Each structure stands twice: as C-alpha cells, then as structure tokens.
Chains A and B, each alone.
Chain A
Amino acid sequence: MMLAIEPILYAGAIGLIAIGVAGMALSRHGFRIVLALALAEAGANLLLVLGGFREGGVAPILVGGGNTASMVDPVPQAMVLTAIVIGVGVQALAIALLIQVKEHLGPIDRQGLRDAMEADIDRHAGLPLPESLDRPLSREGER
C-alpha cells in the first residue's frame, strides 16, 4: 500500500506551529515561552521546505550539468537555511533578555513579573506602594 505522505506532513507542520503558538500564549514561565517560540520556528521551516517538495524529485545538486526538471525547488531550502540560523540568534537574544530581566526585576514567571513591573513603575513615579484589596487589613499596624 502506497502511503500518501505529503498531506500528513503538511498537517504535522501546521500542528507543530499550532503547538508552538499555543505554548507561547499559555505558558506561565518565560523560559518555556522561548522554547515554544523555537517550536513554532521549526514548524514554519518544515512548512517552507514542504512547499518546495516535489514527489519523485532529487536533491537540488548539479553534477556536470544534469537536468534541473526533476529537482525539488531549491529556493525555499535556501530561505530555510537562513531562517534556522536567524532563529538561533533570536533564541540567544531572548535568553539574554531573560537573564537581564531576572537580574533587574527578579521573577520571570508571568504573574510575578507583572507585579514586579508594576511595583517598579510605582517606585519610579514616586507613588506609595498600592494597597491590595485582598490583603488583610490587620497588617496596617505592623508598619
């Protein structure tokens, strides 16, 4: 039985992008968001290479002026080659940003980072620290 693999591969590439985007949207920790970004990148690369794929084609390497009609499309491959390297650069930049955020603000999970940023903004604006509505009022006397 001959397996029709190309639609399955397209579905897999789109599924990989979907997993990456869902991870970026739903993850709580900053590092996990960087990993999900890498996953979405990999899915986009696979989709591009699949776009240039042709059933029964050979690898696009010219040996002594062979015929180019039976080759797969080399243009998406060249673009993906660049995209892979750029993707690693983006990951390194994101990790460097995470390290800076951890050094300056402390937490890198979503909730803790939001609280830290709001406290930072308030401190720079000279405002007093906000009283949380769900904090027990009995702590008023301790200060």
Chain B
Amino acid sequence: MSEWQSWLALLLILIILCSALAVLLLKNHVAAVAAASVVSLALAVLFALLRAPDVAMTEAAVGAGLSSLILAFGLRRLGLWRIGAEAQEKGEDD
C-alpha cells in the first residue's frame, strides 16, 4: 500500500468505528439504519483498498443497497418509521 492509501484506510476505519457506535447510540431507528449503511459503504471502499475488488462490489451492492432496503421495509412493517417532528412528539424510546 502506498502512503496515501494507508492514510485513506486509517480515515475509513475511523469512519467505520464511529458509525458503528452511532448505530448503537442513536435514538431514531431510521437514523440507525442510515448509520449501518454508512458502515457498509466505508467497508466497501476499504475492501477495494485491500485489493479485493469483487468483495467491494458485492459489499456495496448487497451490503449497503439490498440490506438497507430490507431493514427499511422491516421498519415500516414494524411501525417504527418515524422521521422529524413526528419522531419528536412521540418521544422516542431506545
């Protein structure tokens, strides 16, 4: 790995860890799903840096795309899809 790739990998691993903490700490479920999607996207770029382009493609398409879609539809079926003012007035619990 050249030097700029090392720094980019360091930045990506920091993004991944912060988003992973955000998944557990955010109150809103929609925001947590978005943070999980950020983890998948940053992981896809990291896979590309680690010389695994096929894994990167799959992670971006399946891990970030399809997985977020499934989780979002699941949120709607579970009745947890609350955004903005609606989420404020309902008083989110964990």
Could you tell me which A residues sit within 8 Å of B by CB distance? 2-3, 5, 8-9, 12, 15-16, 19-20, 22-23, 26-29, 31-32, 34-36, 38-39, 42, 45-46, 49-50, 52-53, 55-61, 72, 77, 80-81, 84-85, 87-88, 91-92, 95, 98-99, 102, 108-109
A5-B6, A53-B51, A84-B55 given as contacts; is B24 within 8 A of A12 (CB)? no
Inter-subunit contact B23/A80 (CB<8 Å):
no
Inter-subunit contact A35/B70 (CB<8 Å):
no
Determine the main DSSP class of B at the interface with A.
helix
Closest 9 pairs (CB-CB, A-B): A95-B74, A12-B13, A3-B6, A5-B6, A59-B51, A23-B24, A19-B20, A72-B51, A77-B52
Please give, as numbers and ranges, the residues of chain A lying within 8 Å of B77 by CB-CB distance: 95, 99
Could you tell me which B residues sit within 8 Å of A by CB distance? 1, 3, 6-7, 9-10, 13, 16-17, 20-21, 23-24, 29, 32-33, 36, 39-40, 43, 46-47, 50-55, 58-59, 62-63, 66-67, 70-71, 73-75, 77-80, 93-94
**Besides the known contacts A38-B36, A49-B52, A91-B71, 18 further A-B residue pairs in the complex with CB atoms under 8 A apart:** A2-B3, A5-B10, A12-B13, A16-B16, A19-B20, A23-B24, A31-B29, A31-B32, A31-B74, A32-B23, A42-B39, A46-B46, A81-B54, A84-B59, A84-B62, A87-B63, A88-B66, A98-B74
Distance (Å) between the CB of B65 and the closest chain A CB?
A: 10
Considering only CB atoms, which chain B residue lies closest to A85 in the complex? B62
Inter-subunit contact A9/B13 (CB<8 Å):
yes
CA distance in complex: A27, B93 (Å) = 12
